[in-house]
Structure 1
Amino acid sequence: MLAIRLPQEIENRLKKLADVTGRSKTFYAREAILEHLDDLEDIYLAEHELEEVRAGRSVPVSLEEVMKQYDLES
């Protein structure tokens, strides 16, 4: 279960879309989350890892090293 507060303008747009299409607001909220969750994970996890590298808690590995480690050299 998830409850979210939306700005009134967004709530109005979502309601109008639901009314016009005969689908629920929940349907469209779910679709939006599913559509963008992968991108959000990529962005925030990459930002977190960058902070770890800058703080010296993580060491970057070059693409060349990864390819060699997994025997992916062409």
Structure 2
Amino acid sequence: MLAIRLPPDLEARLENLAKATARTKTFYAREAITAHLDDLEDLYLAEQRLLENRAGRSDSVPLADVMKHYGLAD
């Protein structure tokens, strides 16, 4: 179970969309979360890797090496 408070303007937009499409606000909230959760997880992981790299706890690989490894180099 999840309860969220939305700003009034966003709540109104969601309500209008739900009415116009005969779907529930919950349907669209679920769709939005599903669509963006992967992106948010990827962003968090990238930020963590960047911090580790900057702190010297991980190594980086030059782009040219990666492209050559996957056969993408000219």
Q: Report the TM range for the smaller structure's normalisation.
A: 0.7 to 0.9
Number of equivalences: 71
Runs of 4+ residues over 4 Å off in structure 1: none
Residue in structure 2 matched with residue 26 of structure 1 by the alignment:
26
The TM-score normalised by the length of structure 1 is 0.74
User: 2-side partners of 1:36 and 1:55: how far apart?
Assistant: 29
**In percent, how many aligned pairs have the same letter?**
61
Give unpaired runs (5+ residues) of structure 1: none
The TM-score normalised by the length of structure 2 is 0.74
Deviations 1:5-49 (A, max 9, x none): 211111110011111111100000100111111111112210111
Aligned positions of 1:24-63 closer than 5 A: 24-62=24-62
